[in-house]
Amino acid sequence: MNERQIIETAQSMFLKNSGRKEVVDFLANNNIIGEQAETIATDAYMSIKGQRQAIIKTSDSKEASSGLGSIIFGGILMIGGIVASMNSDTLWYGAIFVGLITLVKGFASRY
């Protein structure tokens, strides 16, 4: 591998949440050791730092939005089950129970 390929591989390792030690070990396997390996690892991390933070921020916002949807859906199921139980002779425990579980899961993923 040439130096450019090694640096690109180190960058992709950081993007895949590999630790610094794993990257330095990879560099050692490619005969880059000591200060040079530390410098390459630092440069590789600094070059992808913005991308990595954007990926983390995107995944956090997706999780938060799915939590809000679960909260709303769970609330609707619970209210629907309660209203259906009030207007009929049948108790809608299933809808109320599933709504409660969905509501709790939504709160757990959001907070």
List, for residues 43-54, the tens digit of each pLDDT value: 888 888 888 788
Residue 57 has pLDDT above 80, yes or no: no
pLDDT at 6 (0 to 100): 86
What secondary structure does DSSP assign to the chain, as a single string? Answer: --HHHHHHHHHHHHHTT--HHHHHHHHHHTT--HHHHHHHHHHHHHHHHHHHHHHHHHHHHHHHHHHHHHHHHHHHHHHHHHHHHHHSSS--HHHHHHHHHHHHHHHHHH-
**Which tops the pLDDT comparison, 48 or 59?**
48
Higher pLDDT, 62 or 20: 20
Instruction: Compute the average pLDDT of residues 37-66.
Output: 78
Domain boundaries, the chain: 3-110
**Mean local confidence (pLDDT), 41-68:** 77
> pTM higher than 0.85 for the full model?
no
Mean pLDDT of 7-18: 86
* Structure-model confidence comparison of residues 81 and 63, the more confident one: 81
